[in-house]
Amino acid sequence: MAHSLAPAELREQLSTSEGSCLLLDVREDWEYQICHLEGSRNCPVSQVPTLLEELDPDTPTVVICHHGVRSQHVAEFLERSGFSKVCNLEGGIDAWAREIDPQMPTY
């Protein structure tokens, strides 16, 4: 099972090592348009397998979805595909909005 990262842990990681990880948002395009973390890359779950060749399995990757369920499945898929530094954002973008950025739109 992929490691989970709490929103506060991700905020800390981003503040100390910005640019050193990939934020992979696996929600649908319409969800991403409502709200997302700056610098994240949107790739809906169904398209993740086609993205594997573009991604570096050694780059720390944080997978994000709405509540953390889809992203957990994608994180586990990436681990099975040889990605060694994968985390799931616990509670998803919804938890980020509630705990870190209350100005962020929610749905």
What's the pTM value of the predicted model, to 2 decimals? 0.95
Domains of the chain, with CATH numbers? 3-99 (3.40.250.10)
Question: For residue 98, what are the CA distances in angstroms to 8, 43, 55?
Answer: 11, 23, 30
Stated as kind and residue range, the H or E segment containing 10 is helix 7-16
Active site residues: 65
Tokens found for residue 49 = 């397998």
pLDDT by 10s per residue, the chain, length 107: 779 999 999 999 898 865 589 999 999 999 999 999 999 999 999 999 999 999 999 999 999 999 999 999 999 999 999 999 999 999 999 999 999 999 999 99
Start-to-end Cα distance in the chain:
27
CB 59 within 8 A of CB 21: yes
